[in-house]
Structure formats: C-alpha cells, structure tokens
C-alpha cells in the first residue's frame, strides 16, 4: 500500500497526537500497518508525523527499520500533501540505536571467501545503512526531530543530525555510543555533527569518549534549538513549529532546505551561483503575490491557500 | 564626486558620532550628497562610517541602494586612508529590508517573451543584488556592522552576514523574512548564515519559520559578538573597536581578513598553502619592526604611524 | 634516543602528574633529556603526556621547539603503546608564543639577493613552522590540550586549534596576538579557529583586534569544552578524560579522529564515501566483540585488553 | 522476472553474437522479454551484453528506455556473475536519441499552476533522466560501448560519455544534437565530454555548432579508443576486450573503475587518500596469489577461477 | 559612446570581412573610434567581430588594451543583438604579447614603502590584468579566436586559452614566452592550458622551455580544433562557424557555454545538479518548438527568428 | 653522506652522459655509493641526473628503492645548484616495476591480530609507497623522465605519471600491469594518468585490460611529448631540454611548476587567486631585468647568471 493511500484510509484507531488547531486537523492520519517500525500519521494539514515505534525494544533500530526509512521518505518526498515532517519516538525513550551485540555477531561470521570480498560486502551494507538517514536530507520537506529520553546507541546521533531542526525535552540525553563498542561511527555522525554544532572540541570529546550530553548542554552548544519541559509540550511545540512551516509557501520552504544543504557543502560563491540559477524560475510563483497580499491585509499565512508543489 | 573628494570637503553639518579621541578625530567626515541611501563620514582617522540613511522609509533597501553599495565599497576598497568600516542604520531601526510588495508586482509583470527569457532576466537581477553585499566581503578592510531596532525584511540578514563583525543593541531583533513572502532568500543568507553561527538547527529554524530572534539569543548563538544597552553606547563601542583595528598595521589587518575569507571556503590544507604564499612577501613589512618596537617601549599602537596600504 | 626507548628507561626522577588509577599507572613515563623544549612522560598506560617545558622563558616557542614538535609527534604516531596524548605547559602559564622581537630582527635582515629569493626563503620557513602544529593533526592519536594562565603570542592559538580537545583552567586567557605585531597569523589560526568555534563574528573580532578572551567566554563560545578551577584539577581532568579514551578500542578511537578530520575538509557526501571505504575493513576487528562482551557483562572497558594498533 | 532468472532461462532463440571462445561460451544469454527497449544476453562467461533494441524506430530513446536502464543496471550491479558489460545498438544505427518533437510538445503543455511549479516538475524529470545514464557509472562493472552508424539526437552523446570504454565502427558518427533543438544538453554531455576528450576547443565546437564528427576524428581526439572496419568486427573486438577484462580478478577490475571515477572528481591528493583506504583491505584478496601464480606458470588468466565478488 | 550606439552608426569605412550570406549581412558593423586597441564590427547578424588592432606594434598588448577588453566584453555581454564573438588580430600577426622590457622597468621602479606594500600593489595589477581575459569567459556569448602568424609574448597564450573555440592558419605559431623573461605566467595560461589540451607532458614542456609550437602540433594536441591554409580562409571559416552558432537558439547556445564552464571547475555530480537547476526553467522556451518545427520542415535554422536573449 | 657532498666528490669513474656543452659541463656529477638503487650525477650545470640502476634485476623497484627515492628528492629539493632533474633507467629497460610474487607472499603472511590491524598496517605501507612518487611532484624542480624499453609492472606507470615531462625512445612500451595481478593500482596511476592524457576511454582500457602501449600511441595520446629513435638520442634530447630549462630563471621555472600543479587540483578561479598571491612577490626578482636585457641584446639565456634560488 502506498503512503498516500494509507493516509486516506482513515479509521477510529488513528494516531493523532496534538493537532495544532481544529481547522487544521486532518482526518487522514493513521497508523499504517505496512511499516513495522514506523507509524505514519497526519496530525494536521501538510504535516506528516513519522514515529519510530518499537517501544517494546526501546526503539531499537531493528533490521526492518533501515529499509522502511528509505521507503517512507521516498514516498514523503513525492507526497505533495506533505509540507513538513515531524519525527519522534514512541514509548519511554527516543531510540536506543541498533544492537551492537547483534552486529558484533554478524561481523564475526562474515560471508565471503577472502578479506576483500568480506570488505566489499560490508561496504554495501554501510552504504545502504547510510542511505536510511541521508534519505531525510534528500527529501525536500523539512524534518523536525523531537527527542525525549535517550538518543543513544549506534545510529541515534546519526539519525538526528540528518534532520533539519532538533528539539528535545528536558529529560533527553544524547550519546555517540559507537566508540564504546569498538566502532567508528559510520552512518553520518562524524560527517554531520561538526557541521551541526559550533564547538569542535565538544564534537571530538563526544565522539572519542562516548560521554552523555544532557538537554541543557545540547541547547547551549546548539545541537537542539529548543528544550521543552516534557514530551507532551515538546510534541505540541514541534507540531506548532511544523504548522508554521506548513503554512508558508512550499516553493519557499523546500527551496530553502535544498539551498541550505547545497551551501553546506560548497563555497559561498558556489552557493550564490546555484541560488541564482534556482531562483530565476522559482521567483515566478504566484505564492509571492499571495504572501505579499496576506501581509498587506494582515492575514495569517494559515489562511492562504498555496497550490501543491 | 569621488568618495575621497567628498570626505575632504568638510563642512559644519558633518556627521560625526563618537570620535574615539580628540587626536584621532578627523575633519574630513561629512554627509555626502551623491549617495541617496548611504551617508559617508570619517568619525576618526582610518575609520569610514557608512550609514544606511532612508529613515523616512524605515531604512528600506530602495532601488538606489543596490548600486550605491557597489559604488561605495569599491571606492572604500581603494581609499588608502580607510582602514576599517563601521556600518549602521539611521533613524529608529537598522533596516526593514526591501519592499516585497514592490518586488511581487515587478515579478508578476515580467519582461521577456518566454519563461527562459524571463528567468534569464531575473538571474541577472539576482546576481546584481547579491553583489551589493558581496562587495563588502571583497573589500579588504574589515566591516563592523552595528544593528539597532529591527534587522528584517528581504535583505536584512543577507546584509549583516556579509559583514565581518556584528554588534547590536539590546533592542535589536533579527528575522529571515523571505519565507513569509513565498521567497527563498537568495542574497546570501542561506550561504553565509550557517557559516556565521554554530547551530545548524537554529539556522534552519530561522530560515524556515521566519521567526524573530532577539539580542540575547543573537549573542548566545554567536550571530553578534557583543550586545550594548542602547544605540548610543553601541555606536561608541563600534567606533572604539574600529579604533583598535585602525591603529594596527593595515598589512596585518587586511591580510587577516583576506585569509579568513579564503579559509572559510577551502580545506585547512589549502588555506595553509595560500597563507604561506601570501605571507612570504607580507612578512617583509616595516610594520613588523614598528609594532615590535612599540611593544618593547610599551607604547600604544595608536601612536605608531604605519604607511598607507 | 628513540621515544620508545626513552619511555622504557625509567628512573626515580620521572614526571607523573596524576595517574588515573594504580592499575593503569605506568612505570615508563619519564622526563627525557633529548628534547630541550618538550618533556615526555607516560602518566598511565596508553597516555603520553607532552609538556611544553621552557618555564624560565614563559614557555616561549624557541627555535628548538619547531623541529622537536615534528620529531616528537612522528614518534608518537608510530608508538603503538600510546593511544592518546595530553599536551600542557610547565610553569606559570601555557605559552607566551614566539618572540616577535627576535622574529622582527630576523625578518629585517633577510638572506637572499632579491625579493623573490627572500620570499622563497620565508615561504620555506612558514611551511616548516606550520608543520610543527599540523603534525598533531596528522598523528592519529587524539590530542587533549590543557591550558592554564596565558595562551598568547604568535603561535599560541595556532598550537591549540590544531589539537582535538581543548580544556582550560579558570585563570586561562587566549589571544591572537599576531595583529599587534603587524603580522597576519600564518601558522593555522586563521584556517582552524573558524572551524573550531561557531561564531564567525567572534573569530574576526579576536583576530582583528588582538583582544584577550578569558576562560568563561572560551567555554561559552566553544573554544574549550571544559573549564576547571585550577591547573591541578584540570590536569587531573585531562588525564581522566585521556584515560577514558585510552580504555576504548584504538581501532575505534584513531579511526574516529582520522574521519573527523577528513570530514571537516570535505562535503558530507564525500565524507560518507570515505567512511564506507574505511570501515569496510575496520569493522572486521575483534575489538568489536570484546567491547560488546564487556558491555553485556557490565565490565569496564578499562578491564578489556585490546591489541596494539 | 529478475535479471538473474532471465539469464538462466536459456532457449534456442538466444542472442549470442561472438563468443570469445568455446570454453567461455555461456548457455545463459538470451533475449529477455521484460525489457521492451533493451535486450540482455550473456555471450560468454562474465560478460553481459546489453543491446538497445528499438530498431524499427532507429533506436530512439523512447519513454520505456529511461526506467529500464535504471532497472537493468541496478540488477547488473548486483549480479555477481557479471564482470563486464558490452553495450551496443541493434539495427542499422546505434541511436537516434530521443524525439525532440515529442519533447517539445510535452514542454509546451506543462503541468503546474505557475512557473515555479512547472519548473519543479521539469527538474524532477531531468534528474530522473540523468540517472538513466549515471547508473552505468555507479555500476562497478566496466561498461564498453560499441557504436555503429549514428550516435546522435538528444541523449546519444550523454549515453556514451557515461560508459567507460568507447569503440566504434568506421561508419559511425557522433553529434551533440541538442543545440539544434534549442536545448542545453542536460543529461551529462556538458559534464562528461570535457573530461572524456582532451581538446576543449573541440568540445565547445561540437556542443555549440551541433556538427557531426566521424570515426577518424573520434579516434584522433580520443573519444573512442579503437575504430573497427564494420559492426561485425567491432562486436568481435568488443567481446574480446570484454573477455580480457572478465578474465581478470573482479576485485582488481571493479576497484579500478571505482577509484578512476573517484579520482576524476577529486584532487590527486584526495584520490591517493581514498585509494589507500580502499586498498588496505582489498589487497587482502586471494586473487593476488592466484594471479601471481598464473603469471609464474605462464598460464592465461582465463584459466584462473576467481571467486564471485 | 556605448558599443550599441557605435554599431548603429554605420559609415562607408566599415569593416566587414566575410558576410556569411547577404540576408544576414548587417549594416551596423564598423570600426569604432573609442577603443584604441580594439576594432569592433558586425560582419553579419548576431556576430560581433573584435579585432586586436595595433598593427604598427605587432599587436602588442599595450596599456590601453587591458581596460578596453573589460569595457568591450562587458558591453558585448549585455548586447542582446550579439550571439557570438569572433576575435582576431589585424596586421601580419595575431599578437606579440606585452612588452617585457617595459614591464621589467616598471617592476624595478616599484612604488611602495616596503616589500609588503609593493607586493600589494603588484597583486592588484595582476588581478586587474587577469580580469582582461577572464571577462571573455564570464561573457555568456561564445568567443571564437582566429590566430594567424605569431601568438606569443606574455599574454598571447593567456588570451587564447580564455576563448571557447580556437582556430588558426597554417602559418600560426604559439609560445608561452614568460619563462624566457624570468616570469611565471600569471594571467591564466598555467590555469587554463592544462584544461584546454590533453597532454600534460606537452603543457609542462611548453611552459618550462618556452619553445614554439606550430599549427600542425597545435591541431594534433587539440589546442586548436581547425587549421586553415591562410588568414583569409580562416576568417571565412571563423565567420561561417560563427554564423552556425548565431543561427541557433541563444537560450541553447549561452546556456551551453555557461554550463560547460561551470562543469570544468566542478565534479560531474555537481555539474549535473547545476544543470538540472538551470534547465528547469530554460526548457520553457519557445525556441524549442521553433527549432523542432524547423527540423520537421527541413528548414535551415538560419531562417528561424529567435527572440532576443 | 649528503647529496651535495657526494656531488662535489668527483672521480674518474663519474657518470656523465651527454654534456650539453663544454662550458656547462660540471665536474661534480658522479655515481654515489650511498644509494643502492639510484645513481646520481651532474651531467651539466644545474642538471641532476637520477638513474634507476638495478640493471641486473631489470630495474625492479626493490625494497631499498622506496626510501631512497624520498631521501634523494628531498635533497634535490634543497640543493640550490640543481634546477632540473632528468630521470632514466640503466640497462636494457626502464623498469620492470616491483615483483608481484614477492608482494603476494608478503600480503598472504600479514602481521596483525585481526583484519583491522592488518589493514592499518597495509595502509601505512601504501601511503609510504605513494610518497616515493609524490616526492617528485613536491620537489619544485621539474623532472623530465626518459623511458626506453619497458615501463611496466606495478609502479612503472605510477612513477612516470608523477614526473613533469615524459620522453621515450622508439622501443619503449608502457603497461598498467597491476590488474593482471589482481591488484588495483594504488600508487598514483589511477589518480594521475587521467590528468596526464586526454582520452579517458584509453585510460580505462589501459587500466582495465593491462594491454601494452607502444611509443607511437604514447605520443599520439599525449603520454609522452617526444619520441626519439633510440636511447642515446633520447638521453641527448632529454639533457638538451634540461639544459634549456636550467638556463632559464629558477624563479620562473620553479614557480611555474608549483602553480601548474596547484592549478591541476583547483578551479581556474582558485588557481588565478593563488597565482596572484604568488607572483606579487616573485615579480620582484632581478631575473626579470636580466632576462629582458639578454633578450634585448639577443644574448642566449645560457650566458646569463641567475642567483641561486
């Protein structure tokens, strides 16, 4: 079943956390059976909520997770009803990452006739796993991640650093756990964390010692941009922020995300050049006039209807 | 009239805010008639004060602004009397940015026979507008920007992120307004803001939601390096800092700016290589001995006369 | 005498500051005579302590320093007993940098028949001096630098920004002094400082005005990741952190450092690609199973024996 | 039906052009019904022959082609029986490219409410079409393309420049046709052609005038590395070359392709660094000893059995 | 007088070499007095002919040349009547480059108080001189350069490697003369020549020995794409080629140049990404349908009227 | 014994191949005992001849070779008497590369407790071996390599592609042999060959099939820039070319090499920027006036005395 169909298929058991307002409340959000690790809902128009949902295993990133992420975000990328994504975890903590014991056992029983062939096999697995997080970056809709409890294990930091905006509750803590297991974190943390927070000394300390970082330090170092007292207010805050984004022109929002990511990996001059080639057409949108009109009339952008993008 | 001439042309109505000291006070600074949006003055030796001066329109970035910035900073770049620039806004706020309503109307009445030609026209406009801010980066003299009241609208953040040092008063607030108008910010914000502050989550939040950021957050996230109680003390502080910079060897100051910008867009290794090629000649300056002599004699650098550069 | 031999050559006069624990205390650390500016010791297993030791000259970076750094860190890179380095300064301050007066005199008596030849000579000196700090970055073992008192002069900031983790005591202050001497800092500060702290405005302010920054600001801007009340507790803290790192798998620790530095200078995508090529073999380490086993048994990693790397 | 299954499904009507030798002749190659534009066969062990097969339309790149290419090469990438690919065209010419008239009509009836939305739609199509050729580059098995008759139209040059080795028959001609249709070639020609042949003047001339280039010039400028008298001898030559490649260690062959492409887009230094990280594991292959042994015994590599990779 | 005005100002003494056809012959091309080193004419519709015209000094690149080039090509870039440029030299040879003797004398009487200041002055001159050639690359209209006799001296190779297509007559010879004068060629040869011809050994030989290269070698190594028997046939050939380019859609032609240059300096992947952002709007041109229609009707593109671009 | 001393230590048995002229003939060139694989001589002023001299083993790249290359070229880099290097092979062929059989045996008896540690060991070996060729590129003096007979085996192509100018005799042939031994060439061929010749199809063919390329194809594809009838005339030609280079200003020659290599790995714009920073001092050489004077007086540069560089 396609994501779009799932969403339309409403039912009493649907999961809607905190609709921003009645008017925006969507009837389409519901738990979709096809994904075993992700629950998809539409808490309000334009907002897709992806919930990591393996609570009985502390949201471990089990085998199914890696391919479901790719499927899920490819569909979200093409779902013109979705303008912004909120990603959170079900249960008592955000994620415990993948199970190193499982991984260790796999790694010690490698398939392949010699080291070159075993390595080649590992490389394909690493690349595939990296994609499970990069797919959020390639999706042009912004992803707000809301973290409560633990964000740890192999994969926890990799996951959240691939999101666009990070929020957390006061009880959250973060850990680059890989080093504790004899592993170099290979799913994005070492690449993205230094571009996500400003202090390189802190990045190195976290990655080399595996120590925990709590909510307040996460806020002051810039890993998260807001801390909320508890999960409930965080989810409300995340959805409110998502609502703000969803109410704005999708031409503006998605173009902003794409160009911010392009700029991260290029010089300022290259970024400006790409920006000009991008906007020479994107400026020709009716959203501009609609937005300007709303501003003139002191109307909320939530009352403006932008076409699908 | 050339910038240099204007400056020499002293008159009673000259604008000098806060001379660092009597000795440094220059007689050349004055409001120059040729620029309609910028007021140029020389509050002290070596310091050029550029004031955005369209107070009746809340320092809107009107049409004349874009070409005047280019003219102004090209002249400053060549003015060997100038060693540092202070940029601020006249009136009750720093800038309200450009008028989206005007822009929207222009964009909806495009000139050109088909989309390709209209796009080509827009591209040339974007590139030209980008240059109005990049010209500050290309100017080898450091630019200190002092923000009071609002720094908003399309262009506000683009402008200040292209400066070298950012200061603000307690009443200042900042906003990436473009998204509210259905626009991807295309004049530098998306390229420079992530390299100017450390928290990528915050960058994304600001650019995607258009929310306001106030002075304290601007300080804690690193957008500005100092906050002053009000505009007056801020201007005094900006000029004092400018005085410190102006008193140092221009060989050192301008070479520092050039290499800091080069390094931003290159690997550490490439930056070191360029640095070595740069300094192999720049070390051969008499300023080095003059500076060392002053240090030995516990003399202030303000009493050392460095040659023009 | 090779570094390894020196270390084995124990004696009563050895310098061991704060052994993390009895069990880890090494009998090999001692002051080695061959280096005139650096004292090498092994305060605990796996930890090499490099102390800048020219206290009678305020830890000035005298001529011998530059080549000794290269020799020292090349040996450390190859010393499989060493898993992490702590770098600190002997005496009342960390370093006063090199003596500009000496430099100025040298620079005014250049050797070479014309400017091109003099410049060429300077270039070779600059490149050689840059290497004295880059060698710490090229060494795959993490370097924790612990700063007390002053870190100033030409070379001070260059030195600490080339380290991986920065700690300081409450009395520490930092200064990019070069501009005060008519110099563009050419040994790494302009290249690394902007990638080490998040606020570009602050970087520019420090580099252009030469003002001092004290411990609290160094912490809040991210230059250091921890501040300690005094040197003694800082050294204890540095060694404890070093102990944490030394107890982890060297495969994980050194691979993490190498990939963090690679990622700094490449796009996220290139970083991920290199990561995959790296880990396809590095995952095939027994350290993974040993680490996982320890975790399962709730055993400290300090009790796990990892093979040399 | 999966590619692998198709291949196993032998039948009398299989297409085997020129088996390199009896011993290597495979019984698995055959025309597979599932692809409507591509015919897949296995003319000899380790060689997959992909034939563009729309002869009734001069091998036009019709709609089905674009997705079939992606499917086909993803399967080839994972088919461990395949070590090298030969790509050629059925019928009287290699390809006439896509039909601009069709494209023009589509482009003049765009879907989307405003220019921004239409542009966004086009962008997704362009990216998808680019992928149809890039997929050959991402496949680690080398692709030899054999061109006879015309290689023209939109897409012709884009296709062959994404292959690794180019061969042609004496009657072949090449054309960057896009400019004749008012189009900037956007599927790879402008990116790859300048990195495929040495003369930039010639690249520009071809791309800007749309003139035809014949076999001899294609050989002398380096576009192709061999010219054969006619299609039959060319196919024999292509398969012989493919046989040479297929007989060598797949660890060596595929690692060579991957690193050649990495190096094209990076500095020599970055290329060397990646190479070292790659080969640190790939050198640990038994193929090395098998190859060395064969060399010692003067045995043909075709008689060595390398494990699957 | 603006370029456009000059062109309109027809007179009997106008210089039109070889009109491609009567129909295309323009009445606007003429020698313009304002430039002292460049003669501008319009030999046919859409073609601007720029002739280096200092024949009495062997087309030496005299002082006026450097600023006139910038003025000239900035105007050409904005002249929507111009679709392609032909650049050639008047008199008996293409150019003898700049006069090293003059340069040497200037360089030995430098202005500036110390080496740093003299160096800074030289840097500004170098950057300004580099711009005189880069301006041809920044101009979106293709530049065909036609070389007869000598292309030598400082500046000769710098000039022609910044053009898009290189043609020469049989009597042409080329020389990187700088090394003979104790100079590193600093106006583009070392940057562009290796990206213009395929043999790096040849590039190095030419740049390090200063030897002459004649027409046949220039053709076989790819520096020029065509050799003509004499200047007259070369000019006819250049104008014919220019006519072919001018007859094609300016949207296609200029977009091709811009993307070819972008791709030279970026990875294939970055080039493809920029291409997609470019063409998402540029495909929306009526030129596509006009071109397709002409092709269908077997009409020459010269009979199609494309709008200005 | 240092290189410089060796050279001074003249003796009857010195090896001087073909002195360019009596006047230039140096008395210092001789076979130096310290290197077991390299013979160093000074056939004429300013020219260092490095001869690979293991003729009894077909110039195999035996173990000693790898470190001797590094020692040799580091000394050459600092030898101000040397302005250009000629590299050739003694005996009947240029080089047979390293012995794969030896390598294979080593690789199958790896040292290290697990795959990660074995890989790490291999990585250090690869990096060390890469350096043996890169050291020629880092040496600012141009290296002309003269190849006769075979240039094959692992290492042959890696060696010559790291040189600046390639010459060969008619009997020379070239081979990327690595693929025949189950190896990815990891010492520079895959990085440098594509930037050394223009045809990528040919590069791929050579690297993937291991086929031999003979002198004529090497010339036509641009691998070598000249072919000589036999070794004797080639050596004469190489020394004549070296003499031409040695007679030119070392400021110009070495600056040219450095900037050509910088430009290879950077965009044109970055290359121009570095060039300007380089030449702002290098233009201030007396060599310029000496060269100009010689030109004016029609004097050969061989009669001009340039200072050491």
Between CA F225 and CA F245 the distance in angstroms is 16
Chain C residue at shortest CA distance from D265? C270
Give the orientation angle of helix D200-209 with respect to helix E231-247, to 10 degrees.
50
Between CA D110 and CA D115 the distance in angstroms is 9
D80 closest CA partner among D4, D16, D19 = D4
- Label residue C33 by pLDDT band (50, 70, 90): very low
C309 closest CA partner among C142, C47, C82, C74 = C82
Tokens, residue B47: 């310091």
Between CA E215 and CA E202 the distance in angstroms is 15
pLDDT tens per residue across all 309 residues of chain D: 455 554 544 333 333 333 333 333 333 333 344 799 999 999 999 999 999 999 999 999 999 999 999 999 999 999 999 999 999 999 999 999 998 877 777 776 777 889 999 999 999 999 999 999 999 999 999 999 999 999 999 999 999 999 999 999 999 999 999 999 999 999 999 999 999 999 999 999 999 999 999 999 999 999 999 999 999 999 999 999 999 999 999 999 999 999 999 999 999 999 999 999 999 999 999 999 999 899 889 999 999 999 998
Cβ contact E204–F248 (<8 Å): no
F205 closest CA partner among A81, E14, B204, D257 = D257
Q: Tokens 């969403």 belong to which residue? A: A7
- Label residue E261 by pLDDT band (50, 70, 90): very high
**pLDDT at F214 (0 to 100):** 98
Contact D201, E278 (CB under 8 A): no
Q: How many residues does chain A have?
A: 309
Average of per-residue pLDDT values in chain B: 89
Interface test with F, best of E135, E208, E210 (most F CBs within 10 A): E208
Cβ contact A134–C272 (<8 Å): yes
Cβ contact D220–F221 (<8 Å): no
**pLDDT at B15 (0 to 100):** 35
For E152-203, what is each residue's pLDDT tens digit?
A: 999 999 999 999 999 999 999 999 999 999 999 999 999 999 999 999 999 9
Chain B residue at shortest CA distance from C193? B260
- Label residue E112 by pLDDT band (50, 70, 90): confident
Q: Give the SS3 label for residue D171.
A: coil
- Nearest chain C Cα distance for residue A223, angstroms: 12
Burial-class residue A123 by CB neighbours within 10 Å (0-12, 13-18, 19+): buried
For F204-236, what is each residue's pLDDT tens digit?
A: 999 999 999 999 999 999 999 999 999 999 999
Between CA A41 and CA B309 the distance in angstroms is 64
Cβ contact B277–F273 (<8 Å): no
The size of the A-D interface in CB pairs under 8 A is 58
Cβ contact A114–D286 (<8 Å): yes
Average of per-residue pLDDT values in chain F: 89
First to last CA, chain E: 23
Answer yes or no: is pLDDT of A21 > 50: no
Cβ contact E253–D118 (<8 Å): no
Q: Give the SS3 label for residue B50.
A: strand
User: Which chain D residues are within 8 Å of C277, Cβ to Cβ?
Assistant: 274, 277-278
Show the CA angle centred on residue F114, arms to residues F111 and F117, nearest 5°.
65
Between CA E76 and CA E82 the distance in angstroms is 7
* DSSP track, chain F: --HHHHHH---TT------S-GGG--S-----TT-SSEEEEEEETTEEEEEE--GGGTTB--HHHHHHHHHHHHHHHH-TT--EEEEEE-TTSSB-BB-HHHHHHHHHS--SSSHHHHHHHHHHHHHHHHHHHHHHHHSSS-EEEEE-SEE-SBTHHHHHHTSSEEEEETT-EE--GGGGGT----SSHHHHHHHHSS-HHHHHHHHHH---EEHHHHHHHTSSSEEESSHHHHHHHHHHHHHHHHHS-HHHHHHHHHHHHHHHTS-HHHHHHHHHHHHHHHTS-HHHHHHHHHHHTT--GGG--PPP-
For C152-166, what is each residue's pLDDT tens digit?
A: 999 999 999 999 999
Answer yes or no: is pLDDT of B7 > 60: no
Query: What is the mean pLDDT of the segment spanning B113-132?
Result: 94
CA–CA distance from E271 to each of B30, B94, D187, E49, F91 (Å)? 49, 39, 10, 31, 48
Query: What is the mean pLDDT of the segment spanning C31-44?
Result: 84
> In the Cβ-directed half-sphere of B279, how many Cα atoms lie within 13 Å?
30
* E278 compared with D33, residue with greater pLDDT: E278
User: Which chain C residues are within 8 Å of E115, Cβ to Cβ?
Assistant: 115, 118-119
- Nearest chain F Cα distance for residue C100, angstroms: 23
Between CA E180 and CA E157 the distance in angstroms is 14
Between CA B205 and CA A260 the distance in angstroms is 12
What ranges make up the beta strands (E) of E217-279? 226-228
Answer yes or no: is pLDDT of B136 > 90: yes
Burial-class residue F4 by CB neighbours within 10 Å (0-12, 13-18, 19+): middle
Residue C253: which H helix or E strand, with range?
helix C250-264
Q: How many CB atoms are located within 10 Å of the residue D84 CB? A: 30
Between CA F261 and CA E202 the distance in angstroms is 14
**pLDDT at A30 (0 to 100):** 36
- Nearest chain D Cα distance for residue C250, angstroms: 17
What is the ipTM for the molecules in this complex? 0.90
Query: What is the mean pLDDT of the segment spanning E30-44?
Result: 81
Average of per-residue pLDDT values in chain E: 89
The residues on D that touch B, with CB distances below 8 Å, are 115, 118-119
Question: In the sheet where B213-214 sits, what is the strand order?
Answer: B150-151, B173-174, B213-214
Cβ contact F113–C287 (<8 Å): no
Cβ contact A309–D284 (<8 Å): no
Q: Which long-range contacts (CB under 8 A, 24 or more apart) does D36-39 make?
A: D36/D64, D36/D68, D37/D61, D37/D62, D37/D64, D37/D65, D37/D68, D38/D65, D38/D68, D38/D69, D38/D72, D39/D15, D39/D90
B255 closest CA partner among B280, B237, B238 = B280
* E181 compared with A22, residue with greater pLDDT: E181
Question: In the sheet where A173-174 sits, what is the strand order?
Answer: A150-151, A173-174, A213-214
Q: Which domains does chain D have, with CATH numbers?
A: 3-246 (3.90.226.10), 250-303 (1.10.12.10)
Give the orientation angle of helix C115-138 with respect to helix F250-264, to 10 degrees.
40
* B21 compared with E51, residue with greater pLDDT: E51
Q: How many CB atoms are located within 10 Å of the residue D81 CB? A: 17
Chain B residue at shortest CA distance from A289? B104
Cβ contact B190–A275 (<8 Å): yes
Interface test with C, best of E115, E182, E186 (most C CBs within 10 A): E115
Between CA E85 and CA A136 the distance in angstroms is 46
**pLDDT at A23 (0 to 100):** 33
- Label residue C3 by pLDDT band (50, 70, 90): low
- Nearest chain E Cα distance for residue B190, angstroms: 17
Cβ contact E198–F195 (<8 Å): no
Percent of chain F with pLDDT over 70: 89
Tokens, residue E64: 């006026």
Between CA E66 and CA E62 the distance in angstroms is 8
List the subunits that have 3+ CB pairs under 8 angstroms with E.
Answer: A, B, C, D, F
Contact F156, F212 (CB under 8 A): no
Query: Dihedrals φ, ψ of A146, to 5°?
Result: -120, 115
Between CA C87 and CA C48 the distance in angstroms is 9
Q: How many CB atoms are located within 10 Å of the residue F33 CB? A: 10
- Label residue E22 by pLDDT band (50, 70, 90): very low
User: Which chain C residues are within 8 Å of F113, Cβ to Cβ?
Assistant: 286, 307
Cβ contact C223–A123 (<8 Å): no
């Amino acid at each position: 079943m396609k994501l779009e169909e799932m969403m339309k298929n409403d039912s009493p058991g649907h999961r809607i956390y905190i609709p921003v307002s009645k008017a925006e409340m969507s009837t389409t959000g519901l738990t979709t059976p096809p994904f075993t690790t992700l629950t998809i809902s539409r808490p309000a128009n334009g907002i897709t909520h992806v919930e990591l949902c393996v609570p009985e295993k502390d949201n471990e990133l089990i085998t199914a997770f890696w391919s479901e992420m790719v499927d899920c975000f490819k569909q979200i990328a093409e779902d013109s009803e979705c303008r912004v994504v909120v990603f959170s975890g079900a249960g008592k903590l955000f994620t415990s990452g993948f199970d190193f014991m499982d991984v260790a056992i796999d790694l010690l029983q490698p398939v392949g006739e010699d080291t070159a062939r075993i390595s080649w096999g590992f490389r394909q697995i690493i690349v595939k796993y990296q994609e499970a997080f990069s797919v959020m970056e390639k999706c042009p809709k912004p992803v707000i991640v809301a973290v409560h409890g633990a964000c740890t294990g192999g994969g926890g930091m990799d996951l959240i650093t691939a999101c666009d905006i990070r929020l957390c509750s006061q009880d959250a803590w973060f850990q680059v756990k890989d080093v504790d297991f004899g592993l170099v974190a290979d799913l994005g943390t070492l690449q993205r964390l230094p571009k996500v927070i400003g202090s390189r000394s802190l990045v190195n300390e976290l990655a080399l010692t595996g120590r925990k970082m709590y909510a307040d330090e996460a806020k002051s170092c810039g890993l998260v941009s807001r801390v909320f007292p508890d999960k409930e207010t965080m989810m409300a805050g995340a959805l409110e922020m998502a609502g703000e984004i969803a109410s704005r022109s999708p031409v503006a929002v998605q173009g902003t995300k794409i160009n911010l990511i392009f700029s991260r990996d290029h010089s300022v001059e290259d970024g400006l050049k790409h920006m000009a080639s991008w906007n020479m057409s994107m400026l020709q949108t009716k959203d501009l006039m609609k937005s300007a009109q709303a501003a003139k009339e002191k109307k909320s952008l939530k009352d403006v209807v932008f076409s699908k993008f």
